[in-house]
Amino acid sequence: MNDNAKTKEQLIAELRDLRVRLEESEACQEHHDNIVKEFHIHERTHKSILDSVPAMIWYKDTENRILRANAYAAASVGKSIDEVEGKSVYDLYPEHAQEYHDDDLEVIHSGRPKAGIIESYKSHDNEIRWVRTNKVPLRDENGKIEGVIVVSVDITEFQETDEKLRQTHRFLDSVIENIPLMVFVKDAKELRFVFLNTISEEYLGYSVKDLIGNNDYDFFPQDEADFFTEKDREVLATGKLLDIPEEPILNRAGEERLLHTKKIPIFDDDGNPQYLLGISEDITDKREAEHRIRTLQGLLPICARCKNIRDDKGYWRKIESYFSENSDIMFTHGYCPDCFEKYMGELKGTVD
């Protein structure tokens, strides 16, 4: 049927149909335009978020090529995003590319994330930087793994600070281990040893391993342990340094030693005693020497003829040997003026 043969009603119906189709087409185009617009908005938002993250973010395929990178990642190699996307990691990090790829493949093949990787890289200005890296599988819309997403946070400053702290700890450990004093730390609650330096083994006769985790009652007689505990609690209660000039202690060999000990509390961030620090000096030999000096200051039996001295055990000793063994006195031999004159007179008479 040609248009001339169509009735008016038929033409009107066709026009209405065309209008409906046109409207549908326009609506479809508008919908398409909205989808494209939303996609671009989403893309810009996604890029804005990626670029604002203070971390290097890489999207990589299974062949170690960069699919996508944020601004922070591109800047780490001194390039723009356009310059790195599509590049192989071997072009950007030739020295570490294989190592990075091996880690990527582990994630890709296992399908499991890998977190907390501490690794270094050389920046575009040849500076060694340290990063903490997390890697997760990159999946398509069907869940198939097509690569890996890598997020690396620069921790160079933290790493350097940590190394300085380790150096400080090594220095302090060296000092504590080499001073000729016993240094010990106890927890404030149960007064169990949590630290002792090596020389403590010489003082007490027990290994540091045996002492750690135990308290005084596990090693010393009841009265000694009571005394130590009483002083420890006094320090923790007052929060002040306590100087104990002399305290006896029985070591593992059954020998009684005298210690000069200072104790001080160590507080936590809230100001509560957390540990007790003690420093002890073995003064046994010093006290014995002082006793010998006091003995020398008293009356000494001495022979009026040969000048030998009777010691405290009843033996007669040469005066030189007695003083050498019981003091720091050293003897030199010579003549006094009277003896020198007498000796020279005798010598002259002999010559004449």
d(CA 334, CA 233): 60
d(CA 167, CA 175): 12
pLDDT in tens, 285-297: 888 877 766 655 5
Name the band, by pLDDT with cuts 50, 70 and 90, for residue 184. Answer: very high
| Cβ pair 217, 232 in contact under 8 A | no
* pLDDT number for residue 263: 96
* pLDDT number for residue 299: 63
> Which residues, other chains included, contact 192 with Cβ-Cβ below 8 Å and sequence gap of 6+?
186, 213, 214, 215
Run of H or E including 22: helix 8-52
Task: Identify which of 275, 196, 198, 282 has the alpha carbon closest to the alpha carbon of residue 239.
Answer: 275
* pLDDT number for residue 183: 95
* Higher local confidence (pLDDT), 310 or 14: 310
Name the band, by pLDDT with cuts 50, 70 and 90, for residue 343. Answer: low
What is the rounded average pLDDT of the residues 302-319?
A: 76
Stretch among 80-84, 178-182, 256-260, 288-292 having the lowest mean pLDDT = 288-292
What is the rounded average pLDDT of the residues 317-330?
A: 72
Query: Residue type for 253, please?
Result: A
| Cβ pair 264, 280 in contact under 8 A | no
Q: Is 351 left (phi over 0), alpha (psi -120 to 50) or beta?
A: alpha
Most confident of 243-252, 282-291, 299-308: 243-252
What is the rounded average pLDDT of the residues 9-36?
A: 65
- At how many degrees (to 10) do helices 319-326 and 284-296 cross? 150
pLDDT in tens, 90-130: 888 888 888 889 989 999 999 999 999 888 888 888 888 89
* pLDDT number for residue 227: 94
Stretch among 2-6, 150-154, 160-164 having the lowest mean pLDDT = 2-6
Rounded alpha-carbon distances, angstroms, from residue 216 to 125, 193, 227, 249: 59, 9, 10, 11
* pLDDT number for residue 145: 93
d(CA 105, CA 329): 79
What is the rounded average pLDDT of the residues 224-246?
A: 95
* pLDDT number for residue 75: 87
pTM: 0.52
Per cent of the chain over pLDDT 90 is: 40
Secondary structure letter of residue 63 according to DSSP: T
DSSP H stretches of helix in 53-207: 71-76, 81-84, 89-92, 97-110, 156-178, 200-204
Residue with tokens 């007695």: 322
* pLDDT number for residue 288: 80
